[in-house]
Structure 1
């Protein structure tokens, strides 16, 4: 079951593993990809990502008897969904704490009760508000809450919580995108540790994280024990799919929805995940490709390697 825990985090958030396998089998049977639909192409890319995450999967699936194969898929699926649930539970309280500390809503967000999150809350509403709308405008707030024409919030707009300072530049909507403190805190809480997320919040001097890594537990043979998710899944760099995963988890944590679903009112989580992945993996043109590559390098340096190497307070640079 533990083998599947990486799938929702770095492969695909919702698709069944069987659908990925079926598409790969279809192509292997000679149907090819000349007439493939965009969704079939997506499934094939996800199958490749699955094999990158679980290098043993294809060989093992080929060698097993049918009943063993079905049992393996069941365990992998359970591990994948269990990890997503664990991350959701972890962020439920943490995100409330972070928002309360940074935005100081009155009344503060309840760690346990999400019914007063979402657009009911001014703080959550500001963070969930699409960048092209002005949450500070009372008419906009009322329109979003009442879902009036022109104020419908969908997955086709970037929410403010993705931006540095939670504010977008109307003349350059990519400036500061995917660099918000809240997003990086959530990413660290899932992939490194809640304590490293605390350092992003500026609540420590960084020394406790570095010392923790230096004094990583030793097993009886003196080997270093892997201590967090990024190490366990051998994650050497931040990936587009992991950012998409955390973006969806954060959207859910800020919302008033209490259980996972693919669609929340007018907001489609599947398409939102696709939009984030496509921003990185389907950047249009050389300049856009260079920009997203630099952004991913920035993420890797300040989320993965900064935790390993820095001995000072973790500060987020405002420019790539």
Structure 2
């Protein structure tokens, strides 16, 4: 009987303690609501952490792309990521779908024949299948570094190792980009592109802010 009465006496004190804690937390909660939303850079940092945890670091991105291509060839429903009996293949395909969501340009770069031809270093011949595969496989004989000059910088994507300056910074896409930025979008769409030289780049200066 005495134990029951002591429990009844303790209940009101617990309620009072909880109310006191709520009274302390409510102002703090109100202050947190007034704070501005996180900046986009912080959100991108979180997205990077998600991608880091999403894909096994021992897998190449090309393996996920190959799994997608295989399902397309087999006519498998692309909305179903559990249709195969092999859980490893299902995991690769789920990783591919997530990567496409977070990184829409996953099928560009050297994984795409058109963009690979443009950014291929002038030291290599992108038309050679061995070169393509070597670059995509990170082969030590086909290094691509920050010191590599991509083909799109040169006029008609042609590079002369004996005259490395000839045609440099006169690529068609590069000139279009220059005109679009410093003159007008209309001039960038003109077929007869002017041959701009470094002197023009120097006196044009920076675009107005």
**TM-score normalized by structure 1?**
0.29
Q: Which of 1 and 2 has greater Rg?
A: 2
Q: What TM-score results when the alignment is normalised by the length of structure 2?
A: 0.43
